Amino acid sequence: MADRTQEEIFQDLLEHIVQGLGLEAKIEIESNDEALVGTLNGEDLGIFIGRHGQTIDAVQHLAQRILLADPLTERRRIVVDAEGYRARRREALEKQADQAAIDAEKFGRAVALDAMTASERKHVHEYLRERGGVDTHSEGDEPERHLVVSPLPS
């Protein structure tokens, strides 16, 4: 790994997975000090994304394990995206979070959201903290761990 960059290894990994799935996709790697982002662009990438994003999340986890295996390697966030899936998912989570916050405030009771990944829960916690007016916490065990939105005490 010492003679190949993280970007090259990431590109090769994504190409191998795309080829293995029999997909046609253009792979773009973006790199900065904070993150290494691999984006697939093409048609019919649903199989790569998977049901509820399970496949794309698994690919991202695999990429993290491979790219960060060497303790001396540069530590950056590793992101795998396909046709804007991550942005669409973030938008959907924020809409659900907003509705849960409105319901919690309106009815004065806690509202549980659907199960989501740790990174999605973190995003929603931060999003609602910035929004204000409600408190959040996580409950349950993986893979059914979910976020609960509660009204602030009056």
Residues in the chain, overall count: 154
For position 2, what pLDDT does the model report? 56
Question: What average pLDDT does this structure show over 1-11?
Answer: 85
Question: What average pLDDT does this structure show over 71-82?
Answer: 90
Q: With CA atoms as reference, report the closest residue to 154 among 137, 124, 134, 136.
A: 134
Instruction: Quote the CA–CA distance of 72 and 6 in Å, as a whole number.
Output: 12
70: confidence class by pLDDT, cuts 50, 70, 90: confident
Enumerate residues 6+ apart whose C-beta is below 8 A from 139: 112, 145, 146, 147, 148
Tokens of 126: 């931060």
Name all domains of the chain by residue range, CATH numbers in brackets. Answer: 6-83 (3.30.300.20), 88-151 (3.30.1370.50)
Tell me the whole-structure pTM to 2 decimals: 0.84
The 10s digit of each residue's pLDDT in 95-135 is 999 999 999 999 999 999 999 988 899 999 999 999 999 99
Instruction: Quote the CA–CA distance of 104 and 55 in Å, as a whole number.
Output: 32
